[in-house]
Amino acid sequence: MPSRRELKTVGVLGLGYVGLPLALEFARAGLAVQGFDTDPAKIEALTAGRNYLTHVAADDLPELVRAGRFAATGDFSHLRAADAIIVCVPTPLDEHREPDLRFVRATAETIAQHLQRGQLVVVESTSFPGTTEEVVLPLLEASGLHCPRADNPGAEPDFYLVFSPERIDPGNTRFPLKLIPKLVGGVNPASAERARELYARVFERVLVVSSAKVAEMAKLLENIYRAVNIALVNEMKLLCQRMGVDIWEVIEAAATKPFGFTPFYPGPGLGGHCIPVDPFYLTWKAREYDFPTRFIELAGEINTAMPYYVVDAVAAALNQRQKALRGAKVLVLGVAYKKDVDDMRESPALKILELLEQRGAVVAYNDPHVPALYPMRHYDFSRLRSVPLDGDILSQYDCVVIVTDHSAYNWRDIVERAALVVDTRNATRDVRRGRTNVVLC
């Protein structure tokens, strides 16, 4: 039987948008937290007490570092000292839109090299149901230690293994991390109980479900629900535009019903680390059971097509003004995937920039939260920096495309100074009345 650890020390692998906020919350709760990452720049910044995630409140980071409550390192041998190890690494799709688990596998192999008896390992990275038991567990058991599944109740675990999905919503101040109920699903009941004890130090409510697979599926359902409903309202937008009906007014009217309706809003396409990616993890896994996930695949088709629709709308708006898209100067406002954050992961703005360039436009962008673009998996616009909006800069562009409706933007000023505005977010609703230079897309 493993020695019972007191869960005083936590190791968090992956110090990005999920891992860093979680690590800081554990440190604030009084635990000793060791953050692990392979990026030396992140390690250097955090060691110096500098927070590189602008939407994450971390004014107390220097104090946590000085007090020894939080430290960052690239030396994974320190995993041996952790009572609990939490995995927060990316789970992207590959070029064929199939699960890419290389980061999860590499992390599990690294943990196995340092795994100690009695440690708790938690996977927070979103993946298909079965990942924790079918992928992570065998890699950890290569260490020689074992964590029996629930169907072998007589065996005592050498270590504990759990899946607990992250539910972070960057920039959402209504629901800080500790107020979001935490789901926990263990490979066995003992593992689930250990994780419940750990997360209860930070989260106000911890819900234990019957298995890791249930927790994995719950996370996918949350995001598939959003993806399908966003696809529905995007399709409704296209129909409403053809019929001459304002989809935004339609949604506002429908939302007055106090039951049976939840408002979703159209946009230029899906973005972020969850909704554009997670549904396809289930689509891929469902093939193993000869089960076609038609809703998911149809929603994916509609949402993936939205950036193409935006670029077509830009071309049509320019054409009405006797201008061609080829050679036109186009300014994209907002490259983050949602308002008031600096997160560009899977942002539809990147696809829109690419499509505009492919059709001959001269592109530029402004984003108050993203001063410069950097190379990403599918795009490289690293030559572009955010252009200032002062002076008469807006009037120098043939078209301004609103992709992300950051609060910092002055919509009245933008509408008054731009020759043509294509609005994908209904951001100009209060200022466009009587204006002929605004196209709602």
d(CA 12, CA 26): 10
The DSSP output letter for 79 is G
Q: Is 274 a catalytic residue?
A: yes
**Could you give the CA distance from residue 435 to residue 67 in angstroms, rounded to a whole number?**
57
Q: Are 15 and 47 in contact (CB under 8 A)?
A: no
State the SS3 of the chain.
CCCCCCCCEEEEECCCCCHHHHHHHHHHCCCEEEEECCCHHHHHHHHCCCCCCCCCCCCCHHHHHHCCCEEEECCHHHHHHCCEEEECCCCCECCCCCECCHHHHHHHHHHHHHCCCCCEEEECCCCCCCHHHHHHHHHHHCCCCCCCCCCCCCCCCCCEEEECCCCCCCCCCCCCHHHCCEEEEECCHHHHHHHHHHHCCCCCCEEEECCHHHHHHHHHHHHHHHHHHHHHHHHHHHHHHHHCCCHHHHHHHHCCCCCCCCCCCCCCCCCCCCCCCHHHHHHHHHHHHCCCCHHHHHHHHHHHHHHHHHHHHHHHHHHHCCCCCCCCEEEEECCCCCCCCCCCCCCHHHHHHHHHHHCCCEEEEECCCCCECCCCCCCCCCCCECCCCCCCCHHHCCEEEECCCCCCCCHHHHHHHCCCEEECCCCCCCCCCCCCCEEEC
The span from the CA of 236 to the CA of 125, in Å, is: 33
Cβ-contact 296, 405 below 8 angstroms: no
3 state SS of 289: helix
- Which position among 88, 274, 399, 441 bears the catalytic label? 274
Contact 128, 216 (CB under 8 A): yes
DSSP state of 288: G
Active site residues: 274
